[in-house]
Homo-oligomer: A and B are copies of this chain.
Amino acid sequence: MAAQQLPGLIISDVAGRAFTVLSGSQVLGVIVPPYVQDDPRLARVYDERASDEVCRHLTHRTVRDLLPDRAHNPTDVPVVDPDATTIEAAAVMARLNSPLVAVVDEGQLIGAITVSWLLRHLLPA
Interface residues of A (CB under 8 A from B): 1-7, 23-29, 31-32, 36-38, 40-41, 43-44, 47, 50-51, 54, 58, 80, 83-85, 87-99, 114-120, 122-123
Cβ–Cβ contact A28 & B85, under 8 A:
no
Taking a contact as CB atoms closer than 8 A, the residue among B5, B29, B91 that contacts A94 in the complex is B29
Residue of B nearest to A98 (CB): B25
Set of chain B residues within 8 Å of A84, measured between Cβ atoms: 40, 43-44
Taking a contact as CB atoms closer than 8 A, the residue among B50, B58, B83 that contacts A44 in the complex is B83
Contacts known (A2-B119, A43-B85, A116-B6); A31 close to B90, Cβ less than 8 A: yes
Q: How far apart sit A114 and B116, CA to CA, in the bound complex (Å)?
A: 14
Set of chain B residues within 8 Å of A54, measured between Cβ atoms: 87, 122
Minimum-distance CB pairs A-B, first 6: A24-B115, A29-B94, A43-B88, A40-B91, A2-B119, A43-B87
Taking a contact as CB atoms closer than 8 A, the residue among B7, B38, B87, B99 that contacts A36 in the complex is B87
